[in-house]
Amino acid sequence: MNKKALFVCMLLFASAALFAQEAETESSSLASGLKYLAAAFSVGVSCVGGALAVGKIGAAAMGAMSENPELSGKALPYVGLAEGICLWGFLVALLILFL
């Protein structure tokens, strides 16, 4: 899991560097390049954190449901909250890019 997360982060940083190069041709300011790096970093870190949270919550929910099947409806909101971490990272990236 750690190698995959590292690969995803490296891929995001590489794509942010490409966007930074495009932004450098438009306006040669350091702030515009850092803006793309910050947006990629916020999405990458939040998605890795959300994936770790969903993995742990999902495993615990499946273990609880194997003992008591009525708990399936109670575990779903917790998985949704963990997925919301990724959404917040994406929203922060949009705010960084457009504001």
Number of domains in the chain: 1
Going by pLDDT thresholds of 50, 70 and 90, the confidence category of residue 1 is: low
Tokens of residue 16, six digits: 């942010």
Amino acid 76: pLDDT: 82
Assigned domain for 34 exists: yes
The answer to the question of residue 53 being in a domain is yes
| pTM (2 d.p.) | 0.65
Residue 25 lies in a domain: no
- Please indicate whether residue 76 or residue 59 has the higher confidence score (pLDDT): 59
pLDDT digits (tens, 9 = 90+) for 5-55: 666 666 666 666 666 666 555 555 777 778 888 999 999 999 999 999 999
Task: Round the CA-based radius of gyration of the chain to a whole number and report it.
Answer: 18
Is residue 14, in this structure, part of any structural domain at all? yes
Phi-psi region of 68 (alpha: psi -120 to 50; beta: other; left: phi over 0): beta
Domain assignment of residue 51, given as a range:
2-19+30-98
24 located within any domain:
no
Q: Among 49, 39, 51, 34, which residue's Cα sits nearest to residue 12?
A: 39
CA angle at residue 45 from 33 to 57, to 5 degrees?
165
CATH of the domain at 61: 1.20.20.10
